[in-house]
Structure 1
C-alpha cells in the first residue's frame, strides 16, 4: 500500500577522467586500444548498454573480464565482475549475480579498494533484499555502511542507512528501522541531499503502521514538499495518497477526501494503479462514513476493478521476469556457443596455416637436399 524507497548502488565502476562519452566514439577507440586501456573502454561501453541492451552489456563486460584476466589487471577484472553482476541482478538471475559480486569482493579486498568493496557489499545486500532474505541483506548493508563511514562518503552513507532501515522494517523490527531512517534523514538534511533521496516517506510509513498518525502526517507532508521541489509527480501522488490515508485514520474526512482527489488525476495520468487502489478504498470509506452509500458503492467498484488490475500486473511482472531470465540465459548460451565456434574456426584456420607453412618448408628442405645431393654427385663424377 505504501511505497518504500531502496537505494541501489549500481556500482557503475568509473575511472579517473571518465565521462559518459558517445558509445560510437568509445567503440571507435576500442578498435585500436590494447591492454588496460582496452579493458577500461570495454567497461565504459557496458554503461551505455546495461539498461537498453543487457545482452550487449554482458558481452562487453565478459570481454573485459577475459582480457583483464589475461593481462593480470585486477582493477579492471573487479570492475567487469561488478558489471556482470549488475546485468544478472537486473535480469532477475540473482544467484549468478551473487557469484560475480562475491568474486569482485575478493579482488577488491586484495587491492584494498574500499570504495569498490563497500559498493559491492551494498549490491549484495540489494540482491538478498530482492530475494527477501532480509537477515543476510542486513549483514551486507551494515558492512557497506561501516566502510562508507570510514571513507567519509556522506551521500553513500545516507543511502546505506536507509537500506539498513528497510531491512529492519522488512524483518518487523520497526524501532530499529526508525532509528536508521532518522539517522539517514539527519545526515541528508545536513548535507542538503533531501532532494535526491527520500527516507522521510519510509519513516512516515513506520509511524502510520504504529498508529501515530500525526507524526506520519508530518513526514508525509515533508515527502510531498520534496517531491514537488524535484518535479517527482509519482512521489507527489504517493505522498498525497498517504496524507489522505493519515487524515482518514484521524477521522478528518474532508481533508482526506481533498488529498485523495488531488492524487487521483496524477495517478491516473501515470497509470499508477497501486496508488489508485489506495485512493479508491479511502474514498469509499469516507463516503460510507458520510452516509453517501451510492458514492461509497461506486468507489468500492472502482477499488475492486483497480485491485484486479494490480493483481494481474503483479502476476504479469513476475511471469515476465521469469521469462526474461530464461530468455536472457538462453541468449547467453547462444553467445557462448558462437564464441566457442569462432574460437574453434580460428584454431582450425591457424592449424591449416601451420600445415601449409610446414608443407612449404618441407618442400624447400627437400629441394635443398636434392640440390645438395645433385651437387655432391656431380663433384664425384668430376
Structure 2
C-alpha cells in the first residue's frame, strides 16, 4: 500500500512524474518572470522528481521554501511543505512527513484553497493509516471527501473512495472496503480513465486476497497490470508486482511468486521506497519459509530487520535534531525555564529507563526460553552422538573379530591350497559386504545428521519461540530417523554375522 499511498499523494497535488513534464518545467523555470512563479515551478518540479530522485526532489522543495518564506508567499510555503512531506513519507519518516503536512494544511485552510485542502487531508489520513491510527485516518479522509465534493472532480472523488476503502481494509472491514473500491472503479470507468481504473483494481485485488479468493485476486491484479503505466510510475509498478507475487504465494506457486517478488525488490531498491523494500522482502521470506527453504527465508528476514533498523535510526536522529532546534530557539528564556527543562529531562530519562527495562525484561524472557530449548536440544544431540559412537565401536569390534577369524583360517589351512582359496574368496566377499555396509552407513546417516546440524545452526540466530520449538521438533524427528538407520545397520551386520 505504500506505493499507492505515494501515488495518490502525487495525483492529489495534480502532478505526474513524467520525464517529459520535468523537461518542460525546467525549461519554464529558466525563464520564470518573477519569484512567485519560480517558487510554483520549483514545487511542481519537486513533485515530479519524487518518482525519479528523492534527493533531487527534497532539494527543489527546500529551495522553494527558502524563497517563499522571506516574502511571505503563503501558497508557495504550503506547497513546499506538502512536497517535503511527500518525500519524507516515501522514505518512511512518517513523523516528519506528518509535521510537514500539518504545517501545509494550516496555511491552505487560511487561503481557502479547497483542492489543496482536500489533497493535504488525504495525505494526513494516509500517514495516520501507516501509524495504525485508523480513527484519525478515517476522520481526515472524510474531511478530504467533503472538500472534494465542493470542487466536483471525478478523479478526486474516486481517489477519495480509494483512500477510505484502504482505511476499512486496515480495519478488516472487507465488505465496506470492497464497496468503496468498486465505487471508485465505476466512476473511473464511466469517464474512461484507464490508469485510474488500474489503481482501483489493485485495491479490489487486495480485498479478494484478504478474503482468500485467490483466483479472483489474481485476475484483478493482472487486469490492473494491463491498465497501469508501469514504466512511467515505478512506485505503482513495485506495488503491483508485490501484490501479484503475494497472490501466487497464497496459491502455492512458489516459482511465480518469487519471480514477481524479486522484481518488486529490485524496483523498490532502485527508487528508495523504504516500505516497499521491507514488504517485498518479508513476503519473499514467507514464500520461502512455506516452501521449506529455511536458509533463503532467513536471509530475507534478516534483510527486513536491517532495513527496519535503518528507518528507526533515521527517525531517532530526526527527533534529536528537533530537540536541539527547540533548545536553540528558546535560549533567551533558558534561565526562566531551567526548572521545567530539568523536569522534562528527568521525565525523559525515566521514560527511557522504563522502556529499556521493559525491553530487557522481554528479551530476558525470550532468551531464557530460547537457551532452555537450546540446552535441551544440545543434550539430545550429545546423547545421539554417544549412541552413534557406541554403534561405531560395535562395528569395529565385529570387524576385528572377522579379521581374527580370517587369520585363524589361514593358519589352520596353510597346507590345503584349495581350501585356502575357498576360504579366501569367502573372506573377500565378507570384506566387500563390510564396504557396502560402510557405504550404506555413510549415505543414510549423512542425511538426517546434516538436517540436525542445519536446524541447530538456524536455532542459534532465531529469536522466535514458535520457530525454535518447530526446529526442536524437526531435530527430534531427524534424530529418530538416524537412530532407525543405525539400528538397521546393526541388525544387518548381526544377521550376516
TM-score (norm 2): 0.50
> Within 5 Å, which residues of 2 pair with 1:185-334?
185-196=185-196, 197-210=198-211, 213=213, 216-230=214-228, 232=230, 235=240, 238-239=243-244, 242=247, 245-246=250-251, 257=253, 260-268=254-262, 271=265, 273-277=281-285, 279-280=287-288, 299-300=291-292, 302=293, 304-325=294-315
Match of 2:142 in 1: 142
* Contact 1:169–1:177, Cα closer than 8 Å, also in 2: yes
User: Displacement, 1:103?
Assistant: 3.0
CA distance in 2, matches of 1:240, 1:99: 34
Q: Per-residue deviation at 1:66?
A: 1.4
Q: Is the 8 A contact 2:137 2:167 kept in 1?
A: yes
Kept in 2: contact 1:129–1:167 (CA 8 A):
yes
SS at match of 2:62: helix
Residue 153 of structure 1: CA displacement? 1.9
Flag the structure with more relative contact order, 1 or 2, with Cα contacts below 8 A and sequence separation at least 6. 1
Q: Name the CA shift for 1:314/1:111 in 2 (closer, same or farther; >3 Å).
A: same
2:81 aligns to what? 81
Kept in 2: contact 1:115–1:151 (CA 8 A): yes
Q: Does structure 2 retain, via aligned residues, the 8 Å contact 1:217–1:243?
A: no
How many angstroms does 1:136 deviate by?
0.8
Q: What is the distance in 2 between the residues matched to 1:334 and 1:55? A: 22
Match of residue 69 from structure 2: 66
For 2:42 and 2:154, the matched residues in 1 are separated by 30
> Partners of 2:118 and 2:297 in 1: how far apart?
40
Tell me which residue corresponds to 2:9: 9
Is the counterpart of residue 20 in structure 1 residue 19 in structure 2? no
Mapped partners of 1:321, 1:37: distance in 2: 35
Give the distance between the partners of 2:202 and 2:49, measured in 1 at CA: 32
Shift of residue 227, structure 1, vs aligned partner: 1.0
Q: CA deviation at 1:113?
A: 0.9
Q: How does 1:45-60 map to 2 (within 5 A)?
A: 46-47=46-47, 51-53=54-56, 56-57=59-60, 59-60=62-63
Tell me, what secondary structure is at the counterpart of 1:192?
coil
Q: CA deviation at 1:170?
A: 0.9
Query: Residue 22 of structure 2: SS of its match in structure 1?
Result: coil
Q: Aligned partners of 2:2 and 2:46: how far apart in 1?
A: 30
Following the alignment from structure 1 to structure 2, what is the Cα–Cα distance between the partners of residues 330 and 53? 24
Over residues 153-186 of structure 1, what are the superposed CA-to-partner deviations in whole Å (9 max), with x where a residue is unaligned?
A: 2222222211211111112222222221221222
Give the C-alpha shift of residue 125 in structure 1.
Answer: 1.0
CA RMSD, 1 decimal: 3.9
1:105 aligned residue? 105
8 Å contact 1:168–1:174 — kept in the other structure?
A: yes
Q: As a proportion of its length, which structure holds more helix?
A: 2
Residues 40 and 224 of structure 1: CA distance in aligned 2, closer, same or farther (over 3 Å): closer
Partners of 2:14 and 2:195 in 1: how far apart?
24
Q: CA 1:323–1:55 in 2, change beyond 3 Å: closer, same or farther?
A: farther
Q: Judge conservation of contact 1:121–1:140 (CA < 8 Å) in 2.
A: yes
Mapped to 2, the partners of 1:199 and 1:262 lie a distance apart of 24
Moved more, 195-204 or 106-115: 195-204
Higher-Rg structure is 2
Q: Which runs of 5+ in 2 are unaligned?
A: 231-236, 266-279, 326-497
Provide, for residues 65-119 of structure 1, a one-character-per-residue CA deviation record: whole Å limited to 9, x for no partner: 31342xxx32223222322333443444433433332232233223221111101
Cα distance in 1, alignment partners of residues 59 and 323 from structure 2: 13
- Equivalent pair of 1:42/1:60 in contact (CA under 8 Å): yes
Deviations 1:194-221 (A, max 9, x none): 434333343333344445x3xx523431
Q: Which structure 1 segments of 5+ residues have no match?
A: 247-255, 285-298, 336-382
Deviation, 1:9, is 1.0
